[in-house]
Structure 1
Amino acid sequence: MNVFTTKARKWTVVGMTLTMLVPILAACSGGNDDDPNNRRTLRIGTMYGSSQDESYFRQQYTDMFELTHNNIDIEIVPAIDYTETQFDEPKENQKQPDPIEKVKEIMTGENPVDVMILDSGVLGSLVRDNLLMPLDAKMKEDKIDPNDYVPAVIEGIKDQGDGQLYALAPTYTPSALFYNKKIFSKLNVSPPAANITWDQLFTLARQLKSGEGKDATFGFAFNQWGYSDGYSDMMNYASPLQLKLYDANAEKMTVNTPQWENVWTTISQLYKDHILPTTEDLQVDPATIDNTRYNPFQQQTFFNGKVAMVIANYNFINEIDTYNKNYQKFEGMEQLDWDVVQVPTFAEAPGVSSYIYMNSMAGINAKAPNPDDAWEFVKFMNGKEWGKLRSRSSYEMPALKEFIKVKDGMSYNIDAFTTTKPLPSQINYAEQQLLTERPNLYMIQQLAQIEFNKVMQNQMTVKEALAEFETKGNDLLQKIKLNPTGQIDGVFDDVYGGGGGGGGPILY
């Protein structure tokens, strides 16, 4: 779905709910204060933003609070205003701003923000630097029970805060493993069980592979479209194992190991055996496409019956609902009989997944000039009145358990979305600084894609590719150390036939 379409829908929902709920919220405005001499400002920091999109942020997070707290004015302060450099001409050796440092600047400067809206990639760094106020005591004082929230959300936030809550999130974006009941029944295979591991999933996927050519059905795809570059799938899959491509100083490769060999072998073999579909496997004969009617589902593998299981986020339920209400309009398509279980996890890292996201956590600056109003805002943003409103969103799941329910007219395992924790950020502050100081480190990922593609095209074994990746990577790391931001020529000449380090590998 186009990102602008998604935003437009969210704006519409917010606009409608503003009209409907003003009377209700006015009745429960605990922070209302009509004294004209007691007007104050609450400064809320965001990681990125600009004056152009401030209205959208306000609709999402602050308009309702201002309606019910008449004497509080909200000021939005982005750590990085991307419009300031949007039209700048790129300069050689120009460093990109460090997002964590920029966040720290607006939290510790002369006029620090009171509240910071965070994602999980930043929370841990701020906690380690004692920049956020712990919320446990405040919640206890106001009789806010953490047990009212989805345990995976609370525990996921605590994992970033050494066991304490330094932020709260009103919503989150979970994913689940969706499966087609008809395919399982047709092949007489038992459906996936709760708490399935990756190894169990891949074993199941092999049992579900059937047919050849255009009649083939595949066991699993990492996304609803099926298309993938393979390497991205592998890296997302392996994230909970916390494997590193190079050492903490970015001076030596750490890829030629049994752990990396197992990861590369597992994913590449699944593609080679066509348990996971390749791009070629999913090519649609143009002659079979009905150009007389718009059909957004025709080339989606889960809807056209080509793939038995896919990982998709919470919003996928809306697409299934739309499809099942309209499938009869599309020639050759059948009603989808489906259900979900938790996304697969590793036995070595149970209950943790890189497919769960939290991007709207609110924390209080430890140096907040206005800590009382800051807590009032965080409490309101994560409270029941606002939670009820946000629960009407079909794109995110509410963190408050009482507002989680199966979509009207549907039946599925709603618990599949509430039991898996988000993966804590794996990039610590030192690593973030390295990436900022040496932006050319992206070329290591580029080299990894090239080497993985050699395995996919049977040009090398996994052992050979990892050994070559280690050798070339070590050489590249030294070049990046000497030239962290400028152009490095000749690195990929054997792939592109010259032309330096630009571009990207073309994968199957």
Structure 2
Amino acid sequence: MIKKSLIVSTAMLVALTTACSSKQGAEGNTTDQTQKQPAVSNEPVELVLYSTAATSDEEVKQKFSDPIKAKFPNITIKYIKKGTGTTIDEMVASGQTIDIFYESTNYFYTVANYGLAYDMTDLIKKNNMDLSAFEPTMIDFAKNMSKTGIYGLPVWSQNVILFYNKDIFDKFGVPYPKNDMTWDDLAQLANTLTRADGDKQYLGFAASPAHSIKANQLGLTFLDPKTDKATINTNEKWKQLYQAYYINTSTNPGYKKAMVALKNKLPYKDPFLKDRNLAMMAYLSELDWAGGGSEGMNWDIAALPTFKDQPKIGSQAYPFYWGVTQQSKHKDEAMQVIKYLTSVEYQTKQVRAGTMTVLKDDAIKKQLAQDSKYKDKNTSAVFFNQYAPMPTRSSFEGDAQKAYEDAIHEAALGDTDINSLFRKIEETANKAVDAAKAKTK
């Protein structure tokens, strides 16, 4: 049993003072407002951190555990990674206490379904945290998905941007993508670059199905959050989205030839990173994704193309939320950790290393990747567009997602009438939701 003390030294009070209490000035500048922080124990405390994202031990240590230990020497993070014997079901069934849970936008379904959700409103007030310093779409989503109060705060984020292989553009004498392209511009580029060169078939464009459709620019949800029914045939914008993302970019006859070579699988990471016959790919803004698998490839990034009727609106944010759990016996210490991870101090370091901030401070955004090997890339692309709103989602949204993703293949090939395709999506998604609901009864 860890002994806890209510006495805290003056040195610890100073250490615990962070810049997260910053408020945005009238002109958007961040100003530090140092405030006295609530007293917490300076006795050794172990906090169990868990996520269904199965983030590697190395990444957690580098990004989170080591910086937390440096800031709070008395706090040790014990990270339990999802795996065999440590799924969320097994963790809850075994009685393993989790102090901090972190996850992408699925966070709110998971903590609610497993009884881990905890309203952090009082902890946020107690720690003098200013929620207006965050990107508003992320906070609005957290509040809406929490039903009452707020269950988690964003610590880091991604969005969807355009990666491209400059060597392919150079080979065919085609200008590089720009930050301010529309989807019509992208379709023209994609079909120009879908061509054969000798026995090698090149593809112009592909989008990561899971990420591009889930964080879509039109604010569409797979399900109506009130009825849990598929929206594919009730919202006309779905046709606009499928047309732009998957159909218009694959009209060149060479696309089908390339699909045959790929055994009719949608082009994904390998054609871009390994085979290097894919010119452009819409993917999450994790620069290490390209940097880690593209040795020797001359690549860069551009902002995600936008719709003509929604200029400057990019993808939705793809944040990862951290929350104190209901079962934690160290809620104050856990909240101090989350406060530090959302502070200007920590966020600036992470941004300079190449990770997107969750704060709306433009001064921090401009420092993206400046301490990394990507500082010469077009980093302005990442924050070039505004975030699309993050809509409230049904708790069964994830169950319906596969039906929408599977249809992308057929949409790109153009072998199925889009109305027939959408009817298939609707039927498949609704069946998946019904099956998921039956399991919860």
Range of TM-score over shorter length: 0.5 to 0.7
Give yes or no for the alignment of 1:415 onto 2:380. yes
1:274-296 superposed Cα distances (whole Å, 9 cap, x missing partner): 47576546569xxxxxxxxxxxx
Alignment pair present for 1:273 and 2:235? no
Q: Is the 8 A contact 2:137 2:389 kept in 1?
A: yes
Task: Evaluate the alpha carbon distance shift between residue 368 and residue 184 of structure 1 in structure 2; reply closer, same or farther with a 3 A threshold.
Answer: same
The answer as to 2:354 corresponding to 1:381 is no
The answer on 1:353 being equivalent to 2:341 is no
| Cα pair 1:173 1:397 within 8 Å, conserved | yes
Contact 1:246 1:255 in 2 (8 A): no
Contact 1:133–1:364 (CA under 8 A) maintained in structure 2 = no
457 and 179 in structure 1: CA distance in 2 versus 1, 3 angstrom threshold: closer
CA shift for structure 1 position 205: 2.3
The aligned counterpart of 2:222 is 244
Note the residue ranges of structure 2 that are not aligned, 5 or more in a row: 1-10, 18-40, 264-268, 359-363
Alignment-derived partner of residue 120 in structure 2 = 132
Equivalent residue, structure 2, for 1:194: 179
Query: 2:233: which partner in 1?
Result: 255
> Greater Rg, structure 1 or structure 2?
1
Counterpart-to-counterpart distance in 2, 1:183 and 1:81: 39
Structure 1 regions of 5+ residues with no counterpart?
1-25, 87-95, 148-152, 224-230, 285-297, 325-335, 436-440, 487-508
CA distance in 1, matches of 2:406, 2:251: 16
Deviation, 1:373, is 3.4
Q: How many residues align?
A: 383
Q: Aligned in 2, Cα 1:221/1:261: closer, same or farther, shift over 3 Å?
A: closer
* 1:414 shift after superposition: 1.3
1:280-319 to 2 correspondence within 5 Å? 280=259, 300-301=271-272, 306-312=277-283, 313-316=286-289, 318-319=291-292
Structure 1 Cα separation of the partners of residues 180 and 411 of structure 2: 34
Q: What is the alpha-carbon root mean square deviation over aligned residues?
A: 5.7
Question: Which residue number in structure 2 is paired with residue 39 of structure 1?
Answer: 43
Contact 1:175 1:314 in 2 (8 A): no
Answer yes or no: is the 8 Å Cα contact 2:161–2:381 preserved in 1.
Answer: yes
Tell me the SS of whatever aligns to 1:311: strand
Q: Is the 8 A contact 1:171 1:397 kept in 2?
A: yes
1:45-64 aligned within 5 A:
46-48=50-52, 57=60, 60-64=63-67
Query: What code does the residue aligned with 2:336 have?
Result: E
Name the amino acid aligned to 1:463: N
Equivalent AA in structure 1 for residue 43 of structure 2 = R
- Are residue 344 (structure 1) and residue 305 (structure 2) matched? yes
Pair 1:454–1:385, CA change in 2 (3 A): closer
| Equivalent residue number for residue 484 of structure 1 | 438
Matched with 1:7 is: none
8 A Cα contact 2:242 2:411, kept in partner = no
Residues 135/242 of structure 1: CA separation in 2 closer, same or farther (3 Å cut):
farther
Query: CA 1:82 to 1:413, structure 2 compared with 1: closer, same or farther past 3 Å?
Result: closer
Q: Following TM superposition, by how much is the alpha carbon of 1:166 offset from its aligned partner in structure 2, in angstroms?
A: 7.5
2:351–2:369: 8 Å Cα contact kept in structure 1? no
Q: Is the 8 A contact 2:220 2:238 kept in 1?
A: no
Could you say what secondary structure the match of 1:120 adopts?
A: coil
